Structure 1
Amino acid sequence: MSNVPVNNGRRRFLTAATAVVGGVGVAGAAVPFIASWNPSARAKAAGAPVEVNIGKIQPGQLIRAEWRGKPVYIVRRTEKTVSNLAKHDDQLRDPDSEKAQQPVYATNAYRSIKPEFLVALGVCTHLGCAPTHHAGDFDQFVEGVPNGFFCPCHGSKFDMAGRVFQGVPAPLNLVVPEHSYINDDTLLIGVAQGDA
């Protein structure tokens, strides 16, 4: 054995460098492992539930999510919008939502679990186009109705409950997907109310 003095600085550097390299290796192995817990693109496309944060949606605002490869419109309706829904029932093709385009728990005047929120597929029931949300200027399409959805492709019109107006190509109301609320700020699309 040699009598060479121990270089403690070098020893500490090598120990720290080894720890850093080992930590990077553990993180590199953990990321794909943790990512594997998320649903795959195939599972999402097949209908895996999708969580949406709705806590910051302002009254009158629409946000979009994607579920099963289709857009889902989530609108936080104002109190005025909710109270005005019944005022144009006589202009609608299916005002009471008798054709099953929504889950049983959403077969009501609002077509939703919570009157404040509309959750509907953003797919026109005529040919599958994407209707445009008009907030405050929808009365250019339907007199006296300030908010709604207009499909520019063929002129179909829907109110803020996703109900179709008479005299347009779309035969049915917008589809309301299965959904539930995890809490006040989180919507779960793809899982029925009561099953969550």
Structure 2
Amino acid sequence: MANQGVNDPVNQGRRRFLTGTTVVVGAVGAGIAAVPFIKSWSPSARAKLAGAPVIADISALAEGQRLIVEWRGQPIWIVKRSKAVLAALPTLDAQLSDPKSDNKDQQPAYISGELRSIKPEVSVLVGLCTHLGCSPEMKAEIRPEPFDSEWKGGYFCPCHKSKFDMSGRVYSGVPAPTNLVVPPHHYADDNTLVIGVDPTNAPGAA
């Protein structure tokens, strides 16, 4: 099955997610006040709740931006990570609860390691905290933050102070017990991401 091995997050976080919308947020870099709208294609609301795949065009996704789509009533974060963020990820292992993604319930079998992605620069995560299902804030810049003076980019849940890196790996000593979930997904081509279907189950897969 397409979502085998991936658990659904707590549904309470939906209250913070504006359903039926697709937005781009979280531009990285000083002086950036707005980011362009990025197009995506989605099936009907009824089809999404039934688990139909969601197709997203990521051709206009710039470094440091996040595209949000909805799949099975959950926000899916598609983020293009910077080279600096990618370089920082291996340095965080000692601060994380599950740095090597050993908990196989949080991602498909083809996702592993510190990147937790098919393409190194593109992260795909379910945007719900694994503590109580709140929606964390993206803090993608590498800079000191009030909650972490040595912040290397990631996600911060203001509800109960859980922290995750830019791969969705959870920090040690926070309420969230596990990494953010990576949903089943594959690339139909370089710019077309399909959420909800594993690569092995994609049309034309061997």
Q: TM-score range by the shorter chain?
A: 0.7 to 0.9
Gaps of 5+ in 2: 1-41
Residue 148 of structure 2 aligns to which amino acid in structure 1?
V
Q: CA deviation at 1:108?
A: 2.3
Gaps of 5+ in 1: 1-37
**Equivalent pairs: percent with the same residue?**
52
What is the aligned residue count?
159
Three-state SS of the structure 2 residue aligned to 1:139 is coil
Residue 139 of structure 2 aligns to which amino acid in structure 1?
H
- Does the alignment pair 1:188 with 2:194? yes
Q: CA RMSD in A?
A: 1.5
**Alpha carbons of structure 1 residues 167 and 53: separation in structure 2 relative to 1, 3 Å:** same
1:8-157 to structure 2, matched below 5 A, reads 39-100=43-104, 101-136=106-141, 139-140=144-145, 141-157=147-163
**TM-score of the superposed pair, with normalisation by structure 2:** 0.74
**Alpha carbons of structure 1 residues 39 and 81: separation in structure 2 relative to 1, 3 Å:** closer
Q: CA deviation at 1:99?
A: 0.6
Give every structure 1 segment of 4 or more consecutive aligned residues whose post-TM-superposition deviation is greater than 6 Å: none
Q: Deviations over 1:41-81 (max 9, x none)?
A: 32210110000011111111111010000000110001111
**TM-score of the superposed pair, with normalisation by structure 1:** 0.77
Higher relative contact order (CA 8 A, sep 6+): 2
> Does the 8 Å CA contact 2:126/2:180 hold for their aligned counterparts?
yes
Q: CA deviation at 1:84?
A: 1.0
Residue 65 of structure 2 aligns to which amino acid in structure 1?
Q
**Alpha carbons of structure 1 residues 168 and 79: separation in structure 2 relative to 1, 3 Å:** same
- Residue 166 of structure 2 corresponds to 160
- Residue 18 of structure 2 corresponds to none
**Considering only CA atoms, is the larger Rg found in Structure 1 or Structure 2?**
1
> Does the 8 Å CA contact 1:139/1:147 hold for their aligned counterparts?
no
